[in-house]
Amino acid sequence: MIEGSFIQLYLDNASEAIEFYEKEFNAKIHDGGDYDEDHIYHVEIDVLGHTFGISDRCFNGKDIPTDKTCGLLDFCVRFEKGYIETGRKMYDAFKENAISIGEFETNGGDNVHWDEWHFGVMDKYGVKWLLYN
């Protein structure tokens, strides 16, 4: 059911952090990532055998601070394809007591271009999750 998980870091200077991790820990970038001259939207790197996603902090791609839903990290859980009902059940379970929760979005929506479904939530304990497949 769960295909993998990783930590997504939101940093004040993502470019500098990536350079540091490459130099000091021989980190390797998994793919080209998604970035421009001003912002790192998402880059995945391997640090000592563990995948970290790195993005600029509190940036959602539209220069709009994400205040309440922006943490320093997300716990990202990737499900195998076809688990949309499991995703919906988890969404409903989180929704009841979440500090904040985004929409349950499915492929074809404006924000779903890299997966079948996803949602982000900050649970009642302050843990920021991104669940998707």
| pLDDT tens-digit series, residues 75-92 | 888 888 888 899 999 999
Cβ-in-10-Å burial (0-12, 13-18, 19+) of 72 comes to: exposed
Q: In this predicted structure, what is the pLDDT of residue 70?
A: 55
Is the model more confident about 94 or about 72? 94
Q: In this predicted structure, what is the pLDDT of residue 68?
A: 47
Say if pTM beats, i.e. exceeds, 0.85.
no
Residue 74 backbone dihedrals phi, psi, to 5 degrees: -115, 145
Q: How far is CA 86 from the centre of its chain?
A: 19
HEC string for the chain:
CEEEEEEEEEECCHHHHHHHHHHHHCCEECCCCEECCCCEEEEEEEECCEEEEEEECCCCCCCCCCHHHCCCEEEEEEECCCCHHHHHHHHHHHHCCCCEECCCEECCCCCCCCCCEEEEEECCCCCEEEEEC
Please determine, for residue 125, whether its predicted confidence score (pLDDT) is greater than 80.
no
Percent of the chain predicted with pLDDT > 90: 8
pLDDT tens column, 40-83: 888 899 887 888 888 887 555 544 445 544 557 778 888 888 88
Task: Report the chain's mean pLDDT, rounded to a whole number.
Answer: 80
Q: Quote the tokens at residue 34.
A: 């998604």
Domains and CATH numbers, the chain: 2-132 (3.10.180.10)
